[in-house]
Amino acid sequence: MQNLRRRKPDRPDEVTRAEKSRGERKDNDGEDGGKKKGNGKRWSCIDNCCWLIGLICSIWWLLLFLYKAMPSSLPQYVTEAITGPLPDPPGEKLRKEGLNAKHPVIFVPGIVTAGLELWEGKPCAEDLFRKRLWGGTFGEVYKRPLCWVEHMSLNNETGLDPIGIRVRSVPGLVAADYFAPGYFVWAVLIANLARIGYEEKNMHMASYDWRLSFQHTEVRDHTLSRIKSTIELMVATNGGKKAVIVPHSMGVLYFLHFMKWVEAPAPMGGGGGSDWCAKHIKAVMNIGGPFLGVPKAVPGLLSAEARDIAVARAIAPGVLNNDIFHLQTLQHVMRMTRTWDATMSMIPKGGNSIWGDLDWSPEEGYSPSKKKKDENLTTSGNNEVGPEDPKRKKVNYGRMISFGNDVAEASQSDIKRIDFRGAVKGSNVANTSCRDVWTEYHDMGVGGVKAVADYKAYTADDVLDLLHFVAPKMMARGDAQFSYGIADDLNDPKYQHYKYWSNPLETKLPDAPEMEIFSLYGVGIPTERAYVYRVTPYADCSIPFQINISANVDEEGSCLRDGVFLVDGDETVPVLSSGYMCAKGWRGKTKYNPSGIQTYIREYDHAPPANFLEGRGTQSGAHVDIMGNFALIEDVMRVAAGQTGKDLGGDRVYSDIFKWAEKINLKL
């Protein structure tokens, strides 16, 4: 028996043959084939992450099953027992009023909310033909993450399909009714429209591949041509009644591009002529429109994050910073999303004239705890600029990115900036083995990273130069597809190019004086406006910049939380971007609206659900949840049934949009 016992090693570095064999087997179990050390530890981390993801998914599906298994009347019965009788859904309310389907309705979804399916792929995806890669259950993300990333990415040179891969938009209303099981996008609006007689013959989802630049959707898929034909057909088959267009989020910019494309002569445009919109469109009801871009797009492109991602990384750094599923999570997200040219459509437009400079911004003086105004008193005629609170600490929203909270708060004269634009990019920080995840940061090196941080503070004008510096390949594609300036002379022939068509500050609205344009958006939710950054302490294969979530001001009514300066909006789009054009840029006859199309602002003050049985609520002002807001749905339905903006009561405003718009000095 003594001889059968395992012998202890005589030296610390001695390993028995059996232990060595076990060690080799453990190393060979990993994807690296034993090239990296510590695989046993890393696999333990991966197992934990898989277990956690599986637990979360199981709980979600269980709750969804239980909810669906309940009698349909039970949630309403419990809710009414708590809050009292619920109001009729808008469709039922308007049906009782005698309103019926009249104008055909076209939905234009935004970025990421519409499904994408696989038509051709690599061997790792051979069983996924015509299955959703985006939307639905997202099962392939955790089953085969690297394969999924490869197929969701576009060609980094052309912005079109990679060789051997074809991913296309899902057609029909199902493309964007639900983003995932139980998570509605357009479904509630569709269901309410159906109550007054709408169906697929007079209701259409204009789905498109939201990864592509707007013009490339036509080049590759003829999407703009198909939207034009669909609108013409629906108008013709509905007795000549003009269409009501309902774009959401980035779909607002996409349809703005469409209105210029459809009038422009072929081959660049659709050849419909200057009166096409006047003949075919009754109203454009823009929901959550990022007309002037969103500051949130900047950290998305710079460091593949926004406030929610930054906080999640701080809470669980092993999930996003480490090598989960054998890939550097955020780096692969960045590599993938930087091939999506459409993301560049939402870079802030108008530069410092709109968003402010180092010492000024339109929203300065904003207080998130300020009491809302009475909606009947805040109308388009009440544009007086009131005094700012002298006791409030000034927030420099114009500094869209500040390296350090001290820089964000310092006076302009105290900020010593070293220009990064001519900086020489130094030796590489990362090893060449990181190139597949390092994106263009691999070529910046220590010198380039230091130059970015030494510039200290970036305004909207500076941000464009910053993105050109850190991602020149991406921005070269973006420069060919989009523009972010302000036009001096819209009669200049250069503005006939499609790159200007989605920027409302560089294009004219159609010659359609009877058409109406609405801006419908939520307010009352803190929304990202500017960021405090730091240089990351990580070196190998990491993104060199991060939002500094330790930057906080622990005061009631503070606008700085988790490294992000917040302002009024819908959680994604600030009020300034959603409301400026309809409040001032297009209000009346201006150089951007030469035919004087009537514009209206309809704001929806955010109110969270009273209890969990209300789901995401019927009074939400959040960017996506607003699609279930009963007041918004009613407004859309009334216009579709033949009413006008005047019938709705004109503007309804809770925010300071008119006050902020007056502070922007543009020649109109």
Which residues are identified as catalytic?
Answer: 249, 570, 623
Coil, strand or helix at 521:
strand
Q: How many helices (H) and strands (E) are present in the chain, helices listed first?
A: 25, 19
Please give the helix or strand (H or E) that residue 167 lies within, else none.
Answer: strand 166-169
* Cα–Cα distance list, 162 to 122, 123, 166 (Å): 11, 14, 8
Give the single-character DSSP code of 114: S
CB contact burial 485-518 (16+ within 10 A = b; e otherwise): eebeeeeeeebeebbbbbbbbbbbbbebeebbbb
Whether the CB-CB separation of 314 and 269 falls below 8 Å is answered with no
CA nearest neighbour of 620 among 92, 96, 107, 188? 188
Stretch (H or E) spanning 302? helix 297-303
Between CA 184 and CA 195 the distance in angstroms is: 18
Q: What is the largest CA-CA distance in the chain?
A: 100
Sign of CA dihedral 563, 566, 571, 576: negative
C-alpha angle with apex 176: 172 to 178, nearest 5 degrees? 125
Tokens 């690297």, residue located: 146
Tokens of 194: 């159906």
Distances (CA, A) of 515 to 191, 245, 274, 646: 26, 11, 14, 13
Question: How far is Cα 566 from Cα 529, in angstroms, rounded to an integer?
Answer: 5
Which amino acid, residue 320? L
- What sections of 490-624 are H helices per DSSP? 575-580
* Tokens of residue 160, six digits: 């079109």
Alpha-helical runs (H) found in 368-471: 405-409, 435-438, 445-454, 460-470
Instruction: Round to whole Å and give the CA distance between 480 and 494.
Output: 13
The identity of residue 658, as a single letter, is F
* 593 DSSP assignment: B
Select from 664, 650, 565, 550 the least CA-distant residue to 600.
650
What's the start-to-end Cα distance of the chain, in Å?
A: 97
Residue 209 CA to residue 216 CA, distance in Å, equals: 9
Backbone angles phi, psi at 64, to 5 degrees: -65, -40
Q: Alpha-carbon distance 542 to 441, whole Å?
A: 9
